Amino acid sequence: MSEDLKKRIQALESELKVVRLASMQWEEIQRTYQKSNDRLQQVFGELNQVNERLTMAFEASQLAWWDWDFKSGKLDCSENMALLLGLKKEFLPPTFSALLDLIHPEDAHEVKANLEKHLNGAIPYFESEYRLKTSSGEWKWVFDKGRIIEKDILGKPVRLLGVTMDVERKKVHEKKLLTEFEKADEANRAKSSFLSTMAHEIFTPLSGVVGMAEILKQSELSPEQMEYLEIITDSATNLLSVFNTIMDFLKIEADQIELTSSFFSIYDLMDDLISVIIPEAAEKELEVITFIDPNIPMRVKGDPARLTQVLRVFADNAVKFTENGEITIEAHFLSWDEDTVNVQFRVSDTGIGISEEALKRIFTSFTRISPSTGKYGGSGLGLAIARHLITKMKGEVNVESTPSSGSSFTFNVLLEKSPGSEPPFTDPKIKGLKVVLIDPSAVNARVLIDYLVRLDCDVEHFITFTDGLQEISHRNKINKPADLVIVDLEAAKLAQGSFIPNPAWEKTGKLLLHYKGSSIPKKISEMGFGSVLQRPFLPAEFWTSVYNAFTKKVVTPVTEAALKPLPRTETRNLRILLAEDNLINQKVAKVTLSKLGHYIEVAENGKIAVEMFKKNHYDLVIMDIFMPEMDGLQASREIRQIEQSAPSKKAIHICAITANADKDDEEKCYKAGVNSYITKPFKLEELIEILDSIK
């Protein structure tokens, strides 16, 4: 075979290999194409399925979509938009400007404003609720939501996409609800007006009952008659308390309770509370234990009346639901900063306790702690009102209770700090004392230890007098004598027969504690106590007694005569104008004031009161607020206007008296020119205080 032929064969074989390789690549390309085509067909099928679902979803929900070409203004809408507006699709607005022409004029401004915010990037979506004009000329409420889906290279919007929903039924329902709300609000205002009138109508006869009862008490009555009279007074007072509770609850429902703000002393507030609770507890032979943290500032700012109301709810319940044992009322200092003081209060008892199930709903309105029996009574509103007031005072309330073992209510309130007000001053001499405490009551001992620990005192507690005396002797022997021994009267009584004085006892300061009404045996009074303190006591009284006992300062015994109230300073006989339309109240006031030596003239309404003021001289005007012809506020304003014509003449004192104890009513009185304000049924002490202030 020639060389040329060989070369030709080799060339053909090479070309054949290339053809075979190309054929193989082509087959691979065909297979790849087929796979891609199959995948494309699958994706296309899935897209069709998704599109069908979206179409069905839009049709089922009656949602209409729109596609807005921002640059050209062209607007493309779905068929549902035509159905929504009652138009054929070819008559749908072709541009966004045309759509704006269909929007209700009152809604167009808000729609444009919301759209502008979205286009500027202020909000992520365009949302708006507005009315569109339908083919019938009626307005239909719709809700629009959309957003920019495409921007140019400069970040400017190119295309927006969104949906429109028919919300006509929703708006009709809202309108119906609004109408019902307005009716309810009107009914609530009518209820408030009715309750205001009812308050006056209830307080007026109550004033007569309480007033006449007080007058009768000054008469010569048999013990039986006095007992009946006390029942009448207590019943009227209880009725008044229940009514006030209901009125407070209604104000809470209407969100009408506002807190006042004034400076006050927690020490004085607790003292007043305890003085009221002790007699109530004494009737059931319950012991009252109190603790007031000496670190609490002397003065704080807040609403003392509402704080007292809350404490009274817990304290009254403690007395009501406790048959034996003790009631503990405590006030603890938690913290303070430049502006506020956080104070915690705790009221505990050894009463019937509360079940776990009842604890879950104890602060719910109209819920009683013991609903299965009518033994304890009550409206079931006290705790609900208390929690609301605590919340208003930026505090929280917690309760711990075990059935048959008692309950403990703890709450804190945030009060404003009084500039320059610090905790009560305590003599540094009694700081860090070594104290031996002898008290068989663990609860009483805990309170005393709390007091003493606040002043870094080293306190050891003993239950029996014998053990305490041994500790005092032991300390004396090791040259670490006790500075002070505090002894409970009951512990001393148990040991008085075996007591033998010793040098250690004589060297130690001695303080004796006892309860009101307890008689101190002669043997104990001869044991050399430097100070005697009656429980319950305030911190200042305790520190004074501790100081006197430690320093062995001689204290002048308190005689029975010293305990009697000082006689009231006699005032001159006043000429008083009483503006009151109720005959019973007129009678009560006239008798009460006449017995005090004053001369009374009566005006049946505000108009007559003004005329009488013009013609006569009076030292005091007692002005009822609710009267016919002219009410007390208008009469007070007219009296002040009359006085302006004679500026050299001294302005008369006007005392408003009303059934309403509301803050707004009080402010209205003072704005009308009233000098003082008391509520019905008035207390004789309050009236005497006002009479004493007239110069």
What type of residue sits at position 98? A
Helix, strand or coil, per DSSP, at residue 382: helix
Burial category of 228 from C-beta neighbours within 10 Å (exposed 0-12, middle 13-18, buried 19 and up):
middle
Series of mean pLDDT values for 10-residue runs along the chain (695 residues):
77 80 79 80 72 64 85 89 87 90 93 93 92 91 93 90 90 88 80 67 76 80 85 80 74 73 88 84 85 86 90 92 90 87 94 85 65 51 86 90 90 87 67 90 87 86 91 90 91 82 87 83 86 80 86 48 40 86 84 87 93 92 89 92 83 85 72 86 78 82
Sheet strands (E) in 49-200: 64-69, 75-77, 126-133, 139-151, 157-166
The predicted structure's pLDDT at residue 57: 62
Q: How far apart are CA 288 and CA 326, in angstroms?
A: 6
- DSSP character string of 486-500: EEEHHHHHHHTTT--
681: cis peptide before it, omega within 30°?
A: yes
Quick check: 600 and 593 in contact, CB under 8 A? yes
Which one-letter DSSP state was computed for residue 325?
Answer: S
- The residue assigned the tokens 């008085």 is 496
Burial category of 244 from C-beta neighbours within 10 Å (exposed 0-12, middle 13-18, buried 19 and up):
middle
- Helix (H) or strand (E) segment spanning residue 327: strand 326-336
Which of 236, 319, 234, 242 is CA-nearest to residue 277?
Answer: 319
Q: How far apart are CA 391 and CA 413, in angstroms?
A: 8
CA dist 100 → 64, 79, 110, 538, 667 (Å): 16, 19, 12, 76, 53
The predicted structure's pLDDT at residue 566: 36
Integer Rg of the chain from CA: 43
457 alpha-carbon distance from chain centroid: 37
Q: Which residues are within 8 A (CB) of 582 and not within 5 positions of it... i.e. 6 or more apart?
A: 204, 207, 208, 624
The predicted structure's pLDDT at residue 431: 80
- The residue assigned the tokens 């703000």 is 261
